[in-house]
Amino acid sequence: MDPFSNMPTISIRGRKFFGRIVFGFFLLLSIGLGALSGLVFVYVSDLPQVSQLENYRPDVITEVYADDGQTIGSFAMERRIIVDYQHIPRNLQEAIISVEDQNFEKHIGVDFIRIASAAWKDIVTWKKKEGASTLTQQLSRNLFLTPDKSFKRKFQEILLSIQIERRYSKQQIMTFYCNEVYIGSGLYGFASGADYFYGKTLDKLTLDEAALLAGLVQRPSATSPTSNPKAALARRNHVLDRMVVERYITREQAEAAKQNPIALHVHQPNNDLAPYFIEDIRQYLMDKYGAQEVQEKGLKVYTTLNVAMQKQANAALTEGLKDYDRRHGWHGIEHNILQEHLGDLETYFSDDWKKPVVPGAQLTGLVVDVDAREAIVKIGPLMAHVVPPDFAWTKITSPLQIFHPGDLALFTIASVDSKTGTAKVSLDQTPQVQGSLLAIEPQSGDVKAMVGGYDFDTSKFNHATQAWRQVGSSFKPYVYTTALMQGMKPDDTILDAPVSFPSAGGLYTPHNYDGKYEGVITLRRALAESRNIPALRVAAKIGIKNVIDTAKAFGITAKMEPFLPTALGAADITLWEQVSAFSVFPNDGVRLTPREIRRVTSYEGEALEDDYPQVTEVIPSPIAREMVSLMEGVVQFGTSTRAKVLKRPLGGKTGTTNDFTDAWFIGYTPSLVCGVWVGFDEKKSLGDKETGARLALPIFIQFMQGVYDNKPPEQFFSEPPVVQKASNESPGDTEAPREVANPAPTKRIPPSGASNPKKSGVIAAPAKGVGKRISGQ
């Protein structure tokens, strides 16, 4: 019997049906593979080349350095510090891997097991809870792709990640990631986070600090330690727990790290030391190199600023303006939250209270209660009891005459007691007057300190470089320099007596500041006591046009009319030009154009710019030395005798304009020239007797005292000049303002292009016999 006789036979029709199924399967498979190939081709065709990473350099910070290498400012769209792999500590790498990509060392760029696990959890919970992107995927997304959520972007992300893993090592990928990832607060890369939050480099991070930074990647804003410390703490502890699970640390190490509070030392970009100077640098760089180069390419800018001098300048100008402001009385309370419906005493919060409450800080305080003995003031979390001695400068004796509940006032913090939650404060107010200070090293032209106003946040107008103001008697040295150039001597005499000069509008009859006349006096005494009549007689004798030519040779670019009042400072000149011009005297007649930048390099160190100041011989050395001798007389027995407290060789000149609208002092030692201007933005009087000697000179003195503290006196020249004291000495400390007929309005915008010596180093044609150029680059 046939063994197969009982088996069912497959009909021809059945075989055909089976064949069709097989054919259909392979057909669908072919179609699917073809579609996938087409999809890959389409998506890969516009896929970035991962080889670009070899030349990739992320945006980095442009840093500005002081003359000793300290960082004093920075500019950037993205705050970032680039580090090499060897500077990324192992505890940070382990924290990142634990919380972001636990299979980082094993996968090929895409963790398919984790993707499947995340997808299953999402299906079970019916919510998108699990993320499955590897570090490599995050890197490819951040560097090459848009943040939009689409199938195409996700597919390209996977392809890119696989390519990156094939081309680069795990160490290289980790380095790329640590320099690129965003962690909030404008910070890119973990090195910038370590610097900003802790003021340290990556390799100095402790375990808990590394865990906090690693935890910021997922939700930077929500877990920021500055704005949401509770969430940041919880996230940090979660990272530590994950490190235990991944066996990078023990449970004991994690628990010990959790005991540490979040101790931040927020390290803000140091643009606050010299904001006007830094802004000047920024504008120059933007004009020359462009916004992209400055904000993204990480230039290195080496400047001339001296940190110690700048601190002294800041303090001197601030205190000088506040002294003047207090001398002119209490402004009164400007805002009351109850009257203006800004909130209530319990819940009101001032933005000022986000700042550190530390001694010396000036903060807004809210008056919550007041009686005849004291006012209770709230300043953030602290309370202060303000009693009459704390506002004695106002000359008001009762708190009830100043304060009312709901008042907002400015207070200076004297001390803080964190245990009792109290602070000792004094009432303060923001000066309405403005001022500026500029210090230049005459031998190099280096700008060592610059303060352009009382508060940069309130007004970014730089009064040191942009304010064109009448300079008063500080112009007179150009008159006497011209006289010496024409053969006159310091001890030649001139008549100080009433006089009238012919002018286009009739007779011009000037006066001395004190209304008195001293008869025949020497040129030395006339300059020292700032007598107006002698200066005008000298100018008339030597020719006002010659005086103007001399001023131009000194670097003054202002428009100066050929009329006698110009000799008394009728021209509008910037502090920048005046200080630079006065540097000629202690530098033996030679002027170096001021410079703020010594060198600019690329991020890699390639030199882009080296600034060498232009050098010009303005006047002969003997004339410069005679002028120093004359201007030493201003300090020794003239209008600036209070500067003798500095106890060192010093020359200078005060300046006061009509109606006391501007107060000046420009002075110098052998190694430093410093100028101070005080006035209002609008042209109005500073008040009766508010002269350069009373307002600007004390600021100069305080600055110089700080600069030269415990330093031996310097001599101007190898043979120091002997100052001959006048026979009938004046007590000094008074200043003669010049008379101006129809004064020109104050200019507020500096000239542009080559007419601005600050940027171009170009000076006007010199007078005959002065201004010989001896070198320059």
Q: How far apart are CA 564 and CA 286, in angstroms?
A: 42
221 assigned to active site: no
Q: How far is residue 298 from each of residues 62, 222, 600, measured CA to CA in Å?
A: 4, 29, 11
Beta bridge partners of 662: 679
DSSP per position, 621-675: HHHHHHHHHHHHHHHHHSTTGGGGGG-S--EEEEEE-GGG-EEEEEEE-SS-EEE
Which string of DSSP letters, residue by residue, matches 423-477?
A: EEEEEE---S-EEEEEEE-TTT-BEEEEE-SS-TTT----TTTT-BEE-GGGGHH
Q: Which of 100, 209, 735, 739 is catalytic?
A: 100
DSSP 574-607: -HHHHHHHHTTTTTTTEEE--BSEEEEE-TT--E
Report the C-alpha gap between 656 and 737 in whole angstroms: 5
> Which three-class secondary structure state does DSSP give residue 418?
coil
Alpha-carbon distance 714 to 34, whole Å? 88
Q: How distant is the alpha carbon of residue 379 from its chain centre? A: 27
The alpha-carbon radius of gyration of the chain (Å, integer) is: 37
CA dihedral 482, 483, 489, 490 (to 10 degrees): -80
The CA distance from 37 to 657, in Å, is: 84
Contacts of 13 (CB under 8 A, 6+ apart): none
Q: Where are the alpha helices (DSSP H) in 246-362?
A: 251-258, 275-289, 291-296, 307-327
100 has catalytic annotation = yes
Q: At what angle do helices 90-100 and 229-245 cross, to 10 degrees?
A: 90
Q: Annotated catalytic residue: which of 161, 473, 629, 640?
A: 473
What type of residue is 763?
A: I
Q: Which distant-in-sequence residues (6+ apart) come within 8 Å of 527 by Cβ?
A: 476, 477, 480, 535, 630, 631, 633, 634, 638, 653
CA distance 500 to 204: 76
Q: CB of 678 within 8 A of CB of 658?
A: no
CA distance from start to end of the chain: 118
Active site residues: 100, 473
